[in-house]
Structure 1
């Protein structure tokens, strides 16, 4: 009796292992890297929470001090910092796509070539049915 192969490639280590999906990013991770992925998300959420708390504190201080000009400058700085972070992440994503697309297309091409070869062999043998 054959065992079902329930292994897939982990997004982080690229190893064939039992993987678990992350519904947020739709990627598959092995158990070790799923835990690591969850910790990264947790750290990012903590950073967002800290930034929120700092911003809230700043607003409260500005409300008490009535220095609205300083608050606008802080918002402008936050905007600039956010744009810079987004641009850096976008550049990282471009680099990843540029690196992995050729491999992805080569893999698809290889699979199509294998499938084509199988179809030719079945056709040459003239031994096929609906299941094939």
Structure 2
């Protein structure tokens, strides 16, 4: 019975974090949309390339940080169940 409750709590917890991850992903999409709009305003190519590089780096870092946070959460939950 306790194991079933732990699994249910873990599922609820992970569902909330999945929602948070989804929100983070939407932030990246919004950043992309803003960035695309800026590019469409006819900026010089070199300036646009620099912005693309910065956007790419920022997005990758955010995804990596978020993925590591969720790995840590799963590892911690697994330890609690042992």
RMSD after superposition: 2.8
Cα distance in 2 for partners of 1:56, 1:91 equals: 28
2:49 pairs with 1:69: no
**By percentage of residues, which structure has more strand?**
1
1:53 corresponds to: 33
Cα distance in 2 for partners of 1:73, 1:81 equals: 12
TM-score of the superposed pair, with normalisation by structure 2: 0.61
Structure 1 gaps of 5+ residues are 1-6, 13-26, 107-132
Deviation for aligned residue 1:70: 0.5
Larger radius of gyration: 1
1:79/1:53 CA distance change after superposition, 3 Å = closer
Deviation for aligned residue 1:49: 4.7
- Counting only pairs closer than 5 Å after superposition, residues 21-40 of structure 1 correspond to structure 2 as 37=19, 40=20
Deviation for aligned residue 1:85: 0.6
Relative contact order (C-alpha < 8 Å, sep 6+): which is higher? 2
Counting matched residue pairs gives 72
Cα distance in 2 for partners of 1:44, 1:86 equals: 8
Deviation for aligned residue 1:72: 0.5
TM-score of the superposed pair, with normalisation by structure 1: 0.42
Counterpart contact for 2:28–2:59, Cα < 8 Å = no
